[in-house]
């Protein structure tokens, strides 16, 4: 019997340790966890009871660490009031506790083909601090009024008690919203939820259209997910964008902007999530020219977005490879301390200013930090973090996020090598995804696996179609080598 999952789990644990990430919780953290009880839900003036609203979660089919709920209300002026509830993780995870120490060290949950390494123990992240179906939970709520043109007219933040009336999944909701699949059972089972979700989708589309008019980038990279039959790896399945994923993404971007605006208005030092204007813009101009596009000499997200839209329509098969090249050239997002009065730190890819991370406190430490800042601001208390501490944590969270991404990427490569190790000598159709002095890389059409071409690379350039033969695999290191067939 093959034990692929066990093998990948072992590789994942080694990769975690190599990157300075903790795969296990300390004895002190586990002892602390054993003492935690659910937080008291007694009536308080600063906590609104919103359990009667038709809250629902939309996430992956197998997700149990539910950070957000959403609900919307139509307004008489054709605007839509959107409410996003974020799990109050801070109510059970105290600053400077042992559990907080583990979260601060790793700064993020790490999702690999072999195992999930949660930032907080599952008793918390998938139960006590998760906005699970049928549960009353404390939350921070961002309330926003979205106009017909997609602008946010006003926003406020407050604490509330909420109740998840339906745990929904991206794929089934997306299929129903676009008319390709029947209404999901959970939607049909909750009176009024179908109309509620259609209203949310309408509001999300408004937000999305406005952002893209302002230059938000339409990028689409390929991210294969490992599929198992018991312990055996059977396939790599592509994660596709869909209407439901975009609905949640658009609401979270708006909630993060509302949070940044709120903290800025209260004079609270806080994190900003930024993506700087690309230093390698000239190289992006060259890439666009190779694909038949023309970009101005200075960074311009609107011009880049127009080029991306044109290329997606012209060549959808190769668009993910173009997207990946652009993503690499734009660079990585980062956390910075922001104490400015105008909240002007910019995110080039989202075409927004004054943006933070606040919507996933079970999974990301920056969001938990932001939550503590929000609660202090709401209570009229001083910041629980000193500016120098926030400055250090911004750099630390950026660094550990990079480490976590490298672990996840390493395991995607190992899973791909594992899937192909019995197919040495077979031939595949592929597309060239990288060609430089450091090597030539190709992506197979099926399965969606990337590897290196070790011979027959002369004359090949990005976007070329080529027939390749699998030469070798190395599961531990995630190496896959091809030769030209």
How high is the pLDDT of residue 252? Answer: 97
pLDDT band at 362 (very low <50, low <70, confident <90, very high): very high
Answer yes or no: do 464 and 338 share one domain. Answer: no
* Calpha distance 274→31 (Å, rounded): 37
pLDDT band at 352 (very low <50, low <70, confident <90, very high): confident
Residue 217 near residue 301 (C-beta atoms within 8 A): yes
Higher local confidence (pLDDT), 287 or 398: 398
Report the pLDDT averaged over residues 262-291.
88
Q: How far does Cα 370 stand from its chain's mean position? A: 17
How high is the pLDDT of residue 344? Answer: 47
Instruction: Quote the tokens at residue 476.
Output: 């531990």
Q: Smallest Cα–Cα separation from 141: which of 266, 65, 254, 264?
A: 254
> CB-based contacts of 454: which residues, under 8 Å, 6+ apart?
471, 481, 482, 483
Report the pLDDT averaged over residues 421-434.
90
Instruction: Quote the tokens at residue 382.
Output: 């001083």
Number of domains in the chain: 3
Least reliable range by pLDDT among 135-139, 144-148, 352-356, 357-361: 352-356
Answer yes or no: do 449 and 353 share one domain. Answer: no
Answer yes or no: do 413 and 430 share one domain. Answer: no
Residue 53, SS3 per DSSP? coil
Report the pLDDT averaged over residues 137-161.
97
Answer yes or no: do 162 and 302 share one domain. Answer: no
* Residues facing residue 153 across a β-bridge: none
Report the pLDDT averaged over residues 196-200.
98
pLDDT band at 2 (very low <50, low <70, confident <90, very high): low
Answer yes or no: do 336 and 430 share one domain. Answer: no
Instruction: Answer with the one of 290, 305, 330 that is the final residue of a domain.
Output: 330
> CB-based contacts of 438: which residues, under 8 Å, 6+ apart?
none
Instruction: Answer with the one of 374, 395, 417 that is the final residue of a domain.
Output: 417
* Calpha distance 457→18 (Å, rounded): 33
Q: Which domain holds residue 314?
A: 281-330
Answer yes or no: do 309 and 376 share one domain. Answer: no
> CB-based contacts of 340: which residues, under 8 Å, 6+ apart?
264
* Calpha distance 111→404 (Å, rounded): 9
Number of neighbours of residue 120 by Cβ within 10 angstroms: 29
How high is the pLDDT of residue 1? Answer: 47
pLDDT band at 380 (very low <50, low <70, confident <90, very high): very high
What percentage of the chain reaches a pLDDT higher than 90? Answer: 67
Residue 149, SS3 per DSSP? coil
pLDDT of 43 > 80? The answer is no
CATH number assigned to the domain comprising residue 477: 2.40.50.140
Residue 252 near residue 359 (C-beta atoms within 8 A): yes
Higher local confidence (pLDDT), 2 or 389: 389
How high is the pLDDT of residue 219? Answer: 83
Answer yes or no: do 118 and 216 share one domain. Answer: yes
Answer yes or no: do 223 and 140 share one domain. Answer: yes
Query: Residues 264, 270, 273, 279: is their CA dihedral positive or negative?
Result: positive
pLDDT band at 343 (very low <50, low <70, confident <90, very high): very low
Answer yes or no: do 184 and 304 share one domain. Answer: no
pLDDT of 42 > 60? The answer is no
Instruction: Answer with the one of 386, 402, 417 that is the final residue of a domain.
Output: 417
pLDDT of 433 > 90? The answer is no
Average predicted confidence (pLDDT) for the chain: 91
Answer yes or no: do 123 and 220 share one domain. Answer: yes
* Calpha distance 47→64 (Å, rounded): 25
Report the pLDDT averaged over residues 112-118.
93
Answer yes or no: do 389 and 450 share one domain. Answer: no
Report the pLDDT averaged over residues 33-45.
74
pLDDT band at 189 (very low <50, low <70, confident <90, very high): very high
pLDDT of 46 > 80? The answer is yes
Number of neighbours of residue 294 by Cβ within 10 angstroms: 9
What's the Cα-to-Cα distance from 483 to each of 435, 458, 468, 469, 474, rounded to whole Å? Answer: 14, 12, 6, 5, 15
Report the pLDDT averaged over residues 309-329.
84
pLDDT of 461 > 80? The answer is no
Q: Among the residues of 380-442, which ranges form H helices? A: 387-420
How high is the pLDDT of residue 323? Answer: 85
Residue 263 near residue 369 (C-beta atoms within 8 A): no
Answer yes or no: do 133 and 164 share one domain. Answer: yes
């Amino acid at each position: 019997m093959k034990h692929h999952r066990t093998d990948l789990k072992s590789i994942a644990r080694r990769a975690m340790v190599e990157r300075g990430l903790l795969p296990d919780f300390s004895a002190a953290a586990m002892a602390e966890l054993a003492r935690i009880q659910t937080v008291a839900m007694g009536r308080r003036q600063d906590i609104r009871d919103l359990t009667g609203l038709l809250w629902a979660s939309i996430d992956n089919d197998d997700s149990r660490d539910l950070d957000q709920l959403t609900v919307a209300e139509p307004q008489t002026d054709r605007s839509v009031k959107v409410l996003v509830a974020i799990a109050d993780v801070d109510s059970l995870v105290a600053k400077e506790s042992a559990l907080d120490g583990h979260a601060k060290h790793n700064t993020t949950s790490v999702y690999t083909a072999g195992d999930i390494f949660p930032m907080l123990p599952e008793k918390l992240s998938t139960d006590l601090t998760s906005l699970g179906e049928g549960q009353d939970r404390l939350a921070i709520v961002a309330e926003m009024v979205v106009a017909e043109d997609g602008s946010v007219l006003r926003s406020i933040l407050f604490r509330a008690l909420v109740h998840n009336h339906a745990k929904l999944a991206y794929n089934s909701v997306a299929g129903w919203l676009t008319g390709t699949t029947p209404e999901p059972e959970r939607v049909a089972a909750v009176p009024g939820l179908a109309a509620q979700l259609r209203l949310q989708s309408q509001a999300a589309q408004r937000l999305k259209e406005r952002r893209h008019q302002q230059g938000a980038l339409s990028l689409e990279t390929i991210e294969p997910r490992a599929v198992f039959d018991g312990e055996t790896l059977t396939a790599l399945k592509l994660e596709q964008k869909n209407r439901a994923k975009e609905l949640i993404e658009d609401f979270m971007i708006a909630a993060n902007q509302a949070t940044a605006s709120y903290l800025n208005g209260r004079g609270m030092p806080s994190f900003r999530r930024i993506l700087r204007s690309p230093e390698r813009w000239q190289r992006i101009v060259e890439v666009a020219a190779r694909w038949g596009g023309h970009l101005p000499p200075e960074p311009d997200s609107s011009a880049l977005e127009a080029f991306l839209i044109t290329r997606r329509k012209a060549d959808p098969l190769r668009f993910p490879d173009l997207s990946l090249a652009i993503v690499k050239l734009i660079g990585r997002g980062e956390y910075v301390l922001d104490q400015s009065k105008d909240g002007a730190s910019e995110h080039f890819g989202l075409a927004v200013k004054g943006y933070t991370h606040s919507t996933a406190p079970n999974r990301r430490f920056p969001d938990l930090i932001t939550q503590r800042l929000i609660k202090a601001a709401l209570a009229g208390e001083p910041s629980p973090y000193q500016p120098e501490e926030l400055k250090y944590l911004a750099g630390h969270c950026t660094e550990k996020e990079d480490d976590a991404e490298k672990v996840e990427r390493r395991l995607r490569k190992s899973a791909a090598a594992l899937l192909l190790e019995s197919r040495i000598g077979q031939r595949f159709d592929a597309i060239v995804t990288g060609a430089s002095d450091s090597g030539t890389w190709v992506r197979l059409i099926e399965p969606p696996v990337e590897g290196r071409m070790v011979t027959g690379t002369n004359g090949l350039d990005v976007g070329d179609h080529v027939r390749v033969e699998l030469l070798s695999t190395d599961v531990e290191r995630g190496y896959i080598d091809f030769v030209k067939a």
